[in-house]
């Protein structure tokens, strides 16, 4: 067994080295505003999930089996960083999102979400540690969804710091639909926390006994995209529907986003969910929804000056329908939708705007890629 394990580790290291040394391969695709150039920055990543940019231009990338790596600007992929806790890499669980503390240059704190094993199964958790060299030091868990359950689905798990330095944590219903409506449970909820994990001030359910700490909103199925609007500073989210009903919402405190009481989707078996309602008093309607589902994952507003034609647009990745979508907005209304990279045939897991003004995406595969997307001048 030790020999086989060593061989697997060596093979993975060699594949990463070969991928980095192979150079940056590019492909071009048409779009409404000109030609898109998609350049492979790094490949050989095993189901990469989350991406964060370090101040020096390097990138942190999570791999779902439980590894955190640094990708240099030239595409070289590091060995796994040390110091991470044990994750339950089963089904949709594993090492998930990663973000930097707003004062990272001072405190070197990196936050990451993961499926934490424990009594009863696993749950979404968030930990933080100081990035020192090739490892994380002083790692501590600052948030735990509870209770832990023995399913392998719907961990949600995007992380976003808002303009006040508070941390939003999105979770999923873990495949247990009705939990999303129970305020005492951590499934299917959005949380807002201090950077040390304490509930943020002024939360809508803070005075209600038995409420899961830090609760901001509820009735969510599986939150896998979150981004701050560049003008308003409001948090926008998206979540998976079942067969149909992927949603974009604007997160507002105390709101009920309806799952599973209302949805535009149906069960994978073709049957209706609950009473088959798409609207109900006291529950929010989505800002935008996809039916059929595209399998939304990753989301980024474009706010850079590099590509003026994209200013203010929202980019969303697709897993089920392998694509990137560009949405034009008028306030909180989608006015136009463009399907991009439909011929690339890659499951897009994460979407980020880079410090260079390009878009960056992670592809969800055993040989996953980190790719840069640029809009070429006409």
User: Nearest-CA neighbor of 143 among 176, 166, 174?
Assistant: 166
Instruction: Decide if 85 contacts 136 (C-beta within 8 A).
Output: no
Say which CATH topology domain 23-375 has.
Neuraminidase (2.120.10)
Q: Report pLDDT for 10.
A: 41
| Alpha carbons 335 and 320: distance in angstroms, whole number | 23
344: left (phi over 0), alpha (psi -120 to 50) or beta: alpha
18, containing H or E segment:
helix 2-21
Written as six digits, the tokens of 234 are 């409001």
Instruction: Decide if 364 contacts 296 (C-beta within 8 A).
Output: no
Q: Report pLDDT for 320.
A: 97
User: Nearest-CA neighbor of 53 among 1, 118, 99?
Assistant: 99
Q: What's the gap between Cα 24 and its chain centre? A: 25
Strand 95-100 relative to strand 314-318: parallel, antiparallel, unpaired? unpaired
Per-position b or e across 199-209, b if 16+ CB within 10 A of its CB? bbeebbbeeee
User: Nearest-CA neighbor of 369 among 354, 340, 349, 352?
Assistant: 349
| Alpha carbons 259 and 271: distance in angstroms, whole number | 16
Q: Report pLDDT for 316.
A: 98
| Alpha carbons 171 and 104: distance in angstroms, whole number | 24
Q: Is 11 helix (H, G, I), strand (E, B) or coil?
A: helix
User: Tokens 């080295």 label which residue?
Assistant: 17
Q: Report pLDDT for 378.
A: 83
The whole model's pTM is what? Answer: 0.93
Residues of the chain with pLDDT under 70: 1-23
Active-site positions? 154
What backbone torsions phi and psi does residue 279 show, to the nearest 5 degrees?
-155, 150
């Amino acid at each position: 067994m030790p020999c086989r394990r060593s061989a697997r580790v060596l093979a993975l290291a060699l594949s990463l080295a070969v991928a980095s040394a192979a150079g940056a391969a590019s492909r071009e695709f048409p779009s409404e505003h000109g030609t898109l150039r998609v350049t492979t920055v790094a490949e050989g990543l095993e189901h990469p999930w989350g991406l964060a940019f370090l101040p020096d231009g390097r990138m942190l990338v999570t791999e779902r089996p439980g590894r955190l790596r640094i990708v240099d600007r030239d595409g070289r992929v590091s060995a796994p960083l040390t110091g991470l806790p044990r994750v339950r890499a089963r089904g949709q669980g594993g090492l998930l999102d990663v973000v930097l503390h707003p004062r990272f240059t001072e405190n070197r704190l990196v936050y990451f979400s993961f499926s934490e094993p424990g009594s009863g199964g696993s749950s979404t958790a968030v930990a933080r540690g100081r990035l020192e060299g090739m490892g994380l030091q002083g790692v501590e868990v600052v948030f735990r969804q509870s209770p832990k359950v023995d399913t392998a689905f719907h961990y949600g798990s995007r992380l976003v710091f808002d303009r006040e330095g508070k941390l939003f944590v999105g979770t999923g219903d873990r495949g247990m639909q009705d939990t999303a409506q129970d305020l005492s449970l951590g499934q299917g909820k959005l949380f807002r926390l201090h950077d040390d994990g304490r509930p943020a001030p002024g939360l809508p359910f803070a005075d209600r006994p038995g409420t899961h700490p830090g609760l901001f909103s509820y009735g969510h199925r599986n939150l896998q995209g979150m981004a701050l609007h560049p003008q308003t500073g409001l948090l926008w989210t998206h979540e998976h529907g079942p067969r149909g009903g992927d949603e974009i919402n604007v997160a507002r405190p105390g709101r009920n986003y309806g799952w599973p009481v209302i949805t535009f989707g149906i069960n994978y078996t073709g049957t209706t969910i609950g009473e088959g309602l798409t609207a109900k008093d006291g529950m929010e309607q989505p800002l935008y929804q996809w039916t059929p589902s595209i399998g939304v994952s990753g989301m980024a507003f474009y706010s850079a000056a590099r590509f003026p034609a994209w200013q203010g647009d929202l980019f969303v990745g697709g897993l089920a329908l392998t694509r990137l979508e560009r949405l034009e907005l008028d306030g909180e209304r989608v006015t136009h939708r463009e399907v991009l990279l439909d011929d690339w045939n890659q499951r897009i897991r994460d979407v980020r705007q880079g410090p260079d003004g390009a878009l960056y995406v992670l592809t969800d595969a055993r040989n996953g890629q980190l790719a840069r997307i640029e809009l070429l001048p006409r």
